[in-house]
Amino acid sequence: MAAPKIFRLFFWLLLGIILAVSIMPAGDAPTVFANDKLNHGLAFFTLSMMARLLWMRTNGAVLFVLLMAFGGGIELLQLSMGFGRDADWWDFAADIVAILLGILAGKLFSSTKGKRPATE
């Protein structure tokens, strides 16, 4: 299996894990940080940076809208499912900031990846 295929598989697994954790009952969901907004930031930054690196030819605005729709969809699911979860639009705002930063970081990383320092 080629490296890009492995990374794409990892992206889709990560997307599924984020969705699953987001709709788990609130007390059962694993976290990395005590602050919920930092957890959102970590998840969506990682997801969006991977998306930017995997689909470099895709317009960043398209990736932003798709990932933003995913984050908004999670908040709507949390609103409708119960499980001690609430739709929190500040969580959605954290997702949006993290998506923007992740897409930017992915773009910066991909633009410097192949460059080598000048030799004398």
87-111 pLDDT tens trace: 788 989 999 999 999 999 999 988 8
* Closest among 73, 71, 48 to 61, alpha carbons compared: 48
Structure tokens at 63: 């990736």
User: Given this model, what pLDDT does residue 112 score?
Assistant: 78
What is the reported pTM?
0.84
| Residue 66: count of CB within 10 angstroms of its CB | 14
How far apart CA 11 and CA 55 sit, in angstroms, is 11
How far apart CA 14 and CA 66 sit, in angstroms, is 15
